Structures are given as C-alpha cells and as structure tokens.
Amino acid sequence: MEERNKPRKIWLLVLVASLGYFVDIYDLIIFSIVRVQSFKDLGIADDQMRSDGEFVLNMQMAGLLIGGVIWGVIADKYGRLRVLFGSILLYSLANIYNGFVQDVSTYAWVRFVAGIGLAGELGAGITLVSESMSKGKRGYGTMIVAGVGVLGAILAYFISEWFSWRTAYFVGGGMGICLLFLRVGIFESRVYKQQENMDVAKGDILLLFASRERLLRYIYCLCIGLPIWFVVGVLVTQAPEIGKALSAESTLSAGKGVMFTYLGISLGDVLAGILAQWLKSRKKVVFLCQLLIIFFSLWYLSSSGITEQRFLLLAFLMGIGVGYWATFVTIAAEQFGTNLRATVATTAPNFVRGALIPSTILYGWLVPQVGIRYAAMGVTLLLSAIAIFALTRLKESFNKDLNYVES
C-alpha cells in the first residue's frame, strides 16, 4: 500500500514545492512593483525615490545572500523539510508586517528579514524534489516547480494593479501562511535520511574550500547563471532608459516588460525541462539558452525606433532564453554530494542574484564610455561567454546517482 501511494506523495511534494516557489517569486519582486506607489504613500520626495529604493532593495539582497548560507547549512545539517517550514514562516510574517510600515528605515529592515526567509525556498525545494524522484524523471519535477513558480510574478503585477500596496503585501504573507499548513503532509527525502547518521561533515560550507577541484566546481555552477539576472535586472528593468537610446516611439514600460519576461521565463523553464529530458543532457540545454540570450538581446539592443509591442515581444523571447533558472539550480544540486547539496543549491541562486551588483558596476562604468546600448551589449556577451566556458568545465549530471557524500 505504501509503495502504491509513493508516486502520489512525490507529486504532492512537487505541487507543494511549486506553490512555495510561486509565493517566493511573488514576495521576491513585490517591492520592485509597488516601490513608487508605496513611497508616495509614505511621503518620500520624488528626488529621493531612486536612492531610497536602492537602499531598500539592497537590504533585501543582503538578506538573500545571508539567508542563502543560513538555510543551506540548516538543510544539510537538519533536513530539507525544516527549511521549507522555517523559511516560508519567516518571509510570510515579514510580508504581513510590511503592510504596516510607516517609514523607509523600517521598510528596509523588514525587507532584509523577508530576504533571509526568501533565500531558503527554491534551493531546499529543488533539492528535495531532485532527491525524491528517480534520476530519469527528476527533471520533470524541477521543471514544474520553476514553471509554476515564476508565474507568481504575474500575480504580483495584477494584485498591485487591483489593490493598494499594503494589501499586496498582506496577500503575499497570507498565501505563505496558507501554504504552511499544506506542507504538513510532505516527507523528507530518502537520500537525506540514508546519510543522516553517517559520520561525515554536513552543511559545512568550508568543505567547498577544502579542495581546489570542489571550489572550482562550485564557481563554475555559479557562472552558468550569471546572464539571467542581468537580462531581467538591467535589459528589461532599465527599458525606459534603453528605449530612449533606441529612439523608442514611446516610453517603454519596465513593469509590463518584467511581466512579459516572467511569462517567457515560465515557458522557458518548461521547454528547458522537456528538452533536457529529450536530449538527456542539461548542459546542451543551457548552451542553447546562451545562444538565445545573445540573439534576442542583440536584436532588442539593435532595434532603433522600437515600439512598445516589439519591446514586449522581445522581453518575452529574452525571458525564454533565461528560462533555464530551474535547470541551473538542478545542475548545481546534482554536482555535489548529499551532505553539501542543499548548501550549494540554496546559496547558488542567491549568490547569482548578488552577482548582479558587480555586473551593474561594470555596466555603469561602460555607459559613459560607449553609450548605454553598447555597454548593455558588451556585458551581455561577456556574461554569456563566461557561462559557456563554465559549462564546458562541468560534467553532465542528467543521469547521475545522487546517493553519495562529499568527503
């Protein structure tokens, strides 16, 4: 009877992980969507909105970076389930409190706490799904998690359009609390349980530095994700400024662009997962995605007189190109043993998000030198080149047995 119910339990796990990432993405980008509306309500002057917005966003990013390490270590030391319960409780309560803030300083600290919570969701979910499914089918599970999850960005956009910014935060927190109860029925991975009592270091981040080969393996995992957030965080988010340089017919909407990009990412995650199963290779899929990123980004940045319709189409197509997010996290998880897997899978996506900072610094330095179009082209090409090189240094992990540890 238990064996008969196992597939049902696994797909319940995939559903719960998918909905968790859905709420995670909603809460991750809600500030970017309601920033102007919330700052106006708090009485922030127009000339302070950009600097205060960067301050709040950087606090959230700091929380993500710190939380990635904290939750990764907890997941490897004490189990993936503890992270799935603890992280969603933390960021849900933070988002509910966010609906009551009255000043920028409190706003920033609440986003910092929310960032810590948000950091644990994807890595723990992908790790648990990967370890619970057969090696031939786990790609389908992680594909569903990401494909459903990124649609949270679409809901965030519409909630912010229909309701006040405070209500948008309450909705995010409320969804998380509801999902917390759904998680009561899911189970810890068998692979983790088998190594639970083994005499090996678990969740020790210093293990990543104990071997040159292991450290390089980790760095290469990070590098293959570098182009993703530059496309979203610069090429699409700075659409009004880039559009002006392209002599756009009207001001391009970053909000609509982000929504269409996430629609593309959702479809891209599904397509990347299916293609990886068909080709039996995740590396080939990531390489193909790099080619798509280069092609569609250069098309966008070469479109003089661009219309809003073309911009939204290209934002969607660029989204498909960067839609290997789940494949990237899955590759990172599959490259390491069970005692380090969650640490890697949780820190990798958050460190890649943080890598947007040096990317934008380079981009900012290039803009006055060569102009915004060529600066964006140059950095996009550089990041994709780094990703392709890193990809060649990693071993294919599609059919890899995950029941082993790092010594």
Amino acid at 3: E
Quote the pLDDT of residue 9.
75
pTM of the model: 0.81
What is the domain partition of the chain in residue ranges?
Answer: 2-393
| Percentage of residues in the chain having pLDDT higher than 70 | 92
pLDDT in tens, 236-287: 878 888 898 998 888 888 778 888 888 898 888 888 888 988 898 999 999 9
Cα end-to-end span (Å), the chain: 37
Query: Residue 402 gets which letter from DSSP?
Result: -
Q: What is the CA radius of gyration of the chain?
A: 20
Quote the pLDDT of residue 197.
66
Q: What is the 3-state secondary structure (H, E, C) of 99-130?
A: CCCCCHHHHHHHHHHHHHHHCCHHHHHHHHHH
CB within 8 Å of 61: residues ≥ 6 apart: 115, 353, 354, 357
Assigned token pair, 5: 């119910």
- At the topology level of CATH, where does 2-393 sit? Growth Hormone; Chain: A; (1.20.1250)
Q: How far apart (Å, rounded) are the C-alpha atoms in residues 37 and 133?
A: 43
Question: Which whole-number Å values give the CA distances from 32 to 38, 49, 305, 404, in the listed order?
Answer: 10, 12, 27, 40
Residue 222 CA from chain centroid, whole number: 12
Residue with tokens 């031939």: 136
Amino acid at 107: Y
Amino acid at 293: I
CA dihedral sign, ordered 90, 93, 99, 102 = negative
